[in-house]
Structure 1
Amino acid sequence: MYHKEKSIQIKNSASALYNNLGVLRIAPRRLTYFTVVHANVVNMVSASWDGLNYSHRQLQSKEPNVATSTSLITQAAFCALPSRDLLVVTSQKGIQMYESDGSIMVYWHALDTPETATELLCVPAQAVFARGISAVCESYICVGLSTGAILVFDVPSKGSNITLSDVMEGHKESITDMASECCGGEVCIADLVSADDGGNLCVWQSGEEFKLLNHIPGFDISCSSVKLWKGTVVAGYGTGQIRLYEAVTGILHAEVNAHARWIYSLDIAPFSGLLLSAAEDSLVRVWHLTMTPESHSVEIAHLYNECVTDTQICGAKFCDGDGYAFAVTGYDLSEIIRYTQS
């Protein structure tokens, strides 16, 4: 079904982080942007569709008034809004937003660190970081925190006048991932889902004030990657399982023992209903999701396996909305491996 293409070399190897691959397709310029995180650096590659031209850029994690930063980056993800595309980078110190080509940083949000309080009270310091990034609706970008809170940023159609418009409280554990659904002008009841280290899922409705619609309890096993498709939450867990829930009611439609080890990444091609899953077991699997109108349930069928030998996969993304091609990264691997349909 898929065959391997020529790999794209990157400047540094990939860190062992959930969802450690960003992909943005720039159709008018016939380019695809890729991002991979290594420690405190984001490796960015711009690749032409004919495979002849590549350009590289490296983005460092930033700290106010510090020349060089040792703050570890936790995620880099492209956020595609109707009016603009941004690259969002999260770290132990804050949240950075760049123009999609990485050329200009348009916004910086520092995280509150409890260092002073912990020193005074002589209690162990808690890890502070941001992780989990998603563009939502027309003008919002949501970013999760280690506290379980979710920050909502209101993004203008151009310029750097980005504002923090809301802070959502629904989780008690660190956010691992978030995903939204583009409604295409339709009214969506649920258009954002967030996951945490305890496997808990929160389903939200966006707007001037975001509303918590549903809380789906976890099983004390981390939900490392989550997606939202046609009102269905698709969640991948540390057990190697994939679960499909109806977003608004929380009804479990399907549970699949998809991998032998921890799932690190999920992705959905929205136009075809193809689902990509990748895990520590060196396997990338492609599934097909179908909606049954009569029962309003979703069915999942397995289509394809690809073994990336001796590789702990940490990122996998479709390169287009139909699922014609996908890309994979692995821990300590200095390349992006691409596959296209035969």
Structure 2
Amino acid sequence: MYKKEKSIQIKSSASALYNNLSVLPIAQKNLTYFAVIHGSLVNMVSASTDGLNFSHRQLQSKEGGLVHGTSLIMQASWCVLPSRILLVLASQKGIQMYESDGSIMVYWHAMDTPEAQTEAVFARGIAATGSHYVCVGSSTGSILVFNIPPEGTNITVSEVLEEHKDPITDIASDCSEDKGCIADLVTADDSGLLCIWKSGEDFKLIHKISSYGVTCSSVRMWSGIIAAGYGSGQIQVYDTASAAVHVEINAHARWISTLDVAPESGKLLSGAEDSFVNIWRLFRNPESKAIEVEHLHTECVIDVQVCGGKFCDPEGSAFAVTGYDLSEIIRYVQV
């Protein structure tokens, strides 16, 4: 069971984007960073773990290092690599990478916008994978793989993955400690297609999971298991090695807007436009090796269209939620 804690106020409300919350726990400093998008701004909050002290910062979307207020941000996410942590913003104009506290921009990548193209171009879908890669998706379906040095600004595009034909919605890497899995990255698009990859100097496509006519809005990967949330309100749970469906959950009455996994416990959070947040547990049956899902908790966030939800620690003992047009981050703690 979880109980509601004191909310964190933010300077401007959350935009109606799915996956509109990123959380970075920093245990050694007893701090938690939160990031929520409002139009061309990112509201950043640094909160002490006791919930008593906060500091606020707002990042403005930029184009080539210049402030460009009309460039809407589509996603913001912290990318944790062994050697450094970056805050990555994906927007209509391009991709921005900052030091983890948002103080210094270290890299800018412009999105290609051909003159003949009438449809909007944007970046969306962010994940760190391997020892030094950050992957960012685009509205054309391509995925840019950035090679991140241990320090400095010498960031380069090492590869472009071209398996998707529709706009990328979300990207996730395997967040478990066991990195011996056959694949460690999954990408999702507007059609519902999933691609499973093995990252490395040359990214290898392992499986494609066909769409069934519904957008996959959020995807997570843990210990050889993929959880994918769809516009239908369903969660499909796949085995990474075989790409087979093991569990199908009619989890929500409306569009799923966010999924998250607690890496140390296998807890799965799902939030949707129906104002509900569910907590599940993913595990493998020790005898059959089949993937199973156990429901642990349901929370109704009254009168809130949930657009982001994240665990605040690796165990999943606390989580936070954002809602469309809501100027606060609502927190829950396990009791």
Fold in common (TM above 0.5): yes
Cα contact 2:178–2:223 (8 A) shared by 1:
no
Structure 2 equivalent of residue 278 of structure 1:
271
In the aligned structure 2, how far is the partner of 1:200 from the partner of 1:222? 8
RMSD of Structure 2 on Structure 1 (CA): 1.2
Cα contact 1:15–1:332 (8 A) shared by 2:
yes
In the aligned structure 1, how far is the partner of 2:268 from the partner of 2:176? 19
Amino acid at match of 1:22: S
Q: Give the drift of 1:67.
A: 4.3
Match of 1:13, SS state, is coil
Structure 1 equivalent of residue 330 of structure 2:
337
Q: Give the drift of 1:188.
A: 2.5
Q: How many residues align?
A: 335
Query: Does 2:219 match 1:226?
Result: yes
Query: Does 2:265 match 1:266?
Result: no
Structure 2 equivalent of residue 7 of structure 1:
7
Q: Give the drift of 1:299.
A: 0.3
In the aligned structure 2, how far is the partner of 1:310 from the partner of 1:258? 19
Evaluate the alpha carbon distance shift between residue 65 and residue 219 of structure 1 in structure 2; reply closer, same or farther with a 3 A threshold. same
Amino acid at match of 1:213: I
Query: Does 2:71 match 1:71?
Result: yes
- Percent identical pairs in the alignment equals 64
In the aligned structure 1, how far is the partner of 2:107 from the partner of 2:271? 32
Structure 2 equivalent of residue 121 of structure 1:
none
74-83 or 285-294: bigger deviation: 285-294
Evaluate the alpha carbon distance shift between residue 150 and residue 17 of structure 1 in structure 2; reply closer, same or farther with a 3 A threshold. same
In the aligned structure 1, how far is the partner of 2:286 from the partner of 2:164? 32
Cα contact 1:192–1:228 (8 A) shared by 2:
yes
Amino acid at match of 2:261: I
In the aligned structure 1, how far is the partner of 2:223 from the partner of 2:298? 25
Query: Does 2:104 match 1:104?
Result: yes
Amino acid at match of 1:133: I
Amino acid at match of 2:227: V
Structure 2 equivalent of residue 117 of structure 1:
116
Q: Give the drift of 1:220.
A: 1.5
Evaluate the alpha carbon distance shift between residue 51 and residue 153 of structure 1 in structure 2; reply closer, same or farther with a 3 A threshold. same
Cα contact 1:63–1:69 (8 A) shared by 2:
no
Matching residue within 191, 205, 211 for 1:212: 205
Q: Give the drift of 1:182.
A: 4.1
In the aligned structure 1, how far is the partner of 2:333 from the partner of 2:65? 45
In the aligned structure 2, how far is the partner of 1:74 from the partner of 1:183? 26
Match of 2:78, SS state, is strand
Cα contact 1:93–1:111 (8 A) shared by 2:
yes
Segments of 5+ residues of structure 1 without an aligned counterpart are 119-124
Structure 2 equivalent of residue 167 of structure 1:
160
Q: TM-score, normalised by structure 2?
A: 0.98
In the aligned structure 2, how far is the partner of 1:133 from the partner of 1:293? 33
In the aligned structure 2, how far is the partner of 1:217 from the partner of 1:324? 34
Cα contact 1:203–1:248 (8 A) shared by 2:
no
Query: Does 2:245 match 1:252?
Result: yes
Cα contact 1:136–1:182 (8 A) shared by 2:
no
Q: Give the drift of 1:53.
A: 1.1
In the aligned structure 1, how far is the partner of 2:259 from the partner of 2:66? 35
Structure 2 equivalent of residue 51 of structure 1:
51
In the aligned structure 2, how far is the partner of 1:290 from the partner of 1:185? 14
Amino acid at match of 2:186: V
Amino acid at match of 2:22: G
Match of 1:52, SS state, is coil
Structure 1 equivalent of residue 139 of structure 2:
146
Cα contact 2:175–2:221 (8 A) shared by 1:
no
Evaluate the alpha carbon distance shift between residue 293 and residue 185 of structure 1 in structure 2; reply closer, same or farther with a 3 A threshold. closer
Segments of 5+ residues of structure 2 without an aligned counterpart are none
Match of 2:116, SS state, is helix
Query: Does 2:21 match 1:21?
Result: yes
Evaluate the alpha carbon distance shift between residue 248 and residue 185 of structure 1 in structure 2; reply closer, same or farther with a 3 A threshold. closer
Q: Give the drift of 1:284.
A: 0.4
Structure 2 equivalent of residue 240 of structure 1:
233
Match of 1:17, SS state, is coil
For residues 15-64 of structure 1, what are the alpha-carbon distances to aligned partners after superposition, in whole Å with 9 as ceiling and x for unaligned? Answer: 01010000001111110000000000000000011222110000011113
Q: TM-score, normalised by structure 1?
A: 0.96
Query: Does 2:149 match 1:156?
Result: yes
In the aligned structure 2, how far is the partner of 1:82 from the partner of 1:292? 31
Amino acid at match of 1:281: D
In the aligned structure 1, how far is the partner of 2:49 from the partner of 2:180? 35
Structure 1 equivalent of residue 300 of structure 2:
307
Structure 1 equivalent of residue 287 of structure 2:
294
Q: Give the drift of 1:150.
A: 0.3
In the aligned structure 1, how far is the partner of 2:222 from the partner of 2:177? 13
Cα contact 1:285–1:304 (8 A) shared by 2:
yes
